[in-house]
């Protein structure tokens, strides 16, 4: 028999994974971590405070409760970012100019439009990995496919290792292709590169896992 003298309370806690401020730095909390925290809070309410918690975000997000047949727009995201120092904003400037119809002042032999204000962090070796991690973690998608190359600024094994703490990661080797050789220096680096697809998935919520400690536990008197 469940006790009837518990005080009803509404429990609010984070649910969707994302970056949060923790003191002077930002950390990433996955949806799995947030679900475990919600369970621990409910346990604490019942055992230590004689409260009856209601957590709607833990109830209505269960499979089959709402209209799950409606696909979420962010269910699958495909990423094909720059992976070398070549900036897309300068290489693919014709479509940009057609779209904006701004008649910019151009420079260089090929007539490039101003692009430096659109420079991508993916094109800088020191910034590429951080930019990729921030992008994937901030999407909130259930599944992300990243197209990348063995000659990219980011090491594919390192990218997978960095993401494995929050996601399920699989690296698929697609094929070996001929190297693009725009100059002599590129020609000396080898004849081919390997293309990869890095598959990133949200981890499943494991039911029945041990709850993290919130406060001292005691038996609930019935």
Mean pLDDT of the region 108-122? 83
Lowest mean pLDDT among 72-81, 123-132, 156-165: 72-81
- Report pTM: 0.55
What CA–CA distance (Å, rounded) separates 199 from 2?
45
pLDDT band at 110 (very low <50, low <70, confident <90, very high): confident
Domains in the chain, CATH or no CATH each:
7-59 (no CATH), 76-85+123-201 (3.30.110)
Closest of 177, 180, 174 to residue 196, by C-alpha: 174
pLDDT at 97: 83
Name the β-bridge partners of 149. 195
pLDDT band at 222 (very low <50, low <70, confident <90, very high): very low
- Tens digits of residue pLDDT in 161-216: 999 988 999 999 987 776 555 555 555 555 778 899 999 998 875 544 454 555 54
pLDDT band at 91 (very low <50, low <70, confident <90, very high): confident
What CA–CA distance (Å, rounded) separates 191 from 150?
12
What CA–CA distance (Å, rounded) separates 162 from 8?
41
Distance of CA 158 to the CA centre of its chain: 15
- Tens digits of residue pLDDT in 7-29: 999 998 888 777 777 677 767 77
- Cβ within 8 Å of residue 23, ≥6 positions away: none
pLDDT at 93: 77
């Amino acid at each position: 028999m469940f006790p009837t003298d518990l005080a009803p309370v509404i429990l609010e806690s984070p649910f969707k994974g994302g970056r949060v401020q923790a003191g002077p730095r930002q950390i990433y909390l996955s949806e799995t971590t947030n679900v475990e925290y919600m369970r621990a809070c409910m346990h604490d309410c019942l055992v230590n405070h004689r409260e009856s918690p209601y957590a709607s975000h833990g109830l209505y997000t269960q499979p089959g409760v709402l209209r799950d047949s409606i696909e979420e727009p962010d269910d699958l995201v495909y990423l094909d970012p720059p992976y070398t120092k070549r900036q897309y904003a300068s290489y693919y400037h014709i479509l940009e100019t057609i779209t904006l119809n701004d008649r910019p002042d151009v420079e260089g032999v090929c007539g490039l439009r101003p692009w430096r204000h659109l420079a991508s962090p993916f094109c800088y070796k020191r910034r590429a990995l951080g930019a990729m991690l921030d992008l994937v973690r901030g999407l909130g998608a259930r599944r992300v496919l990243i197209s990348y190359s063995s000659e990219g600024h980011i090491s594919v094994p390192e990218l997978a290792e960095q993401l494995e703490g929050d996601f399920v990661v699989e690296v698929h080797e697609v094929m070996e292709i001929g190297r693009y050789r725009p100059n002599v220096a590129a020609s000396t680096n080898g004849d081919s590169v390997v293309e990869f697809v890095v598959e990133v998935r949200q981890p499943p919520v494991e039911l029945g896992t041990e709850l993290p400690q919130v406060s001292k536990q005691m038996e609930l008197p019935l």
